[in-house]
Chain A
Amino acid sequence: AQKITQTQPGMFVQEKEAVTLDCTYDTSDPSYGLFWYKQPSSGEMIFLIYQGSYDQQNATEGRYSLNFQKARKSANLVISASQLGDSAMYFCAMREGRTSYDKVIFGPGTSLSVIP
């Protein structure tokens, strides 16, 4: 069964607008972590933001925020004020379990294109 689902294979957003990238996950473990990564065309993987399952508040990191809806098992990434440099693939990932000893599983990704 798919553990991480990203239903938007491709997205377009106007420069300076906000965009939401969807991510839903499936786990029965009460302790887990959720990550978002950016992969530009150059190929490197860049860590963006992390949300723990017990965190009461949504994670934020600069222009990135994670809209964490635990009951719905969704962890959408919100990018505010999009920039041309935000054009990239974005991956949602989940670690099941309490420690980083456990596996991290990635979703299929969403390709974001920012239009000038």
Chain B
Amino acid sequence: NAGVTQTPKFQVLKTGQSMTLQCAQDMNHNSMYWYRQDPGMGLRLIYYSASEGTTDKGEVPNGYNVSRLNKREFSLRLESAAPSQTSVYFCASSVIQANQETQYFGPGTRLLVL
């Protein structure tokens, strides 16, 4: 049981380049999330997915697209990277069991856009 995994761990892009951040969870959770964390700040929600095939915008969706092709995987795509997208990106999944909700995070992807 690996929990939530993210690839890559680190990435350097040039302005205008594109890339996809991958996220997978093996806990059979319906809900998955993408957050970004800028230095000295809390997490901000980019997109979330309530279930396979559905996605919704969070607080800061501009410049990103997501894809939830199956229950396990939720990817985040930067079509044309900008320096303002330099951040640490966290993927998470969550579950509610017996009225107790728990959110599990991946280790994060550190992205630098030059």
Contact = CB atoms under 8 A, between A and B. Distances in A.
Contacts, number: 70
B101 A33 contact: yes
Contacts of B95: 100
A54 B99 CA distance: 9
Interface residues of A, number: 26
Interface in B86-108: 88, 90, 92, 94-96, 99-105, 107-108
A99 B94 CA distance: 10
A95 B101 contact: yes
Contact of B42 (A43, A91, A100): A91
B43 to A, nearest CB: 4
A52 B101 contact: yes
Given A45-B90, A99-B96, A100-B95, A108 B42 contact: yes
B99 A43 contact: no
A106 B88 contact: no
B94 A100 contact: yes
Contacts of A45: 43, 90, 92, 105, 108
Contact of B33 (A44, A46, A104): A104
Interface of B: 30-31, 33, 35, 41-45, 48, 50-51, 56, 58-59, 88, 90, 92, 94-96, 99-105, 107-108
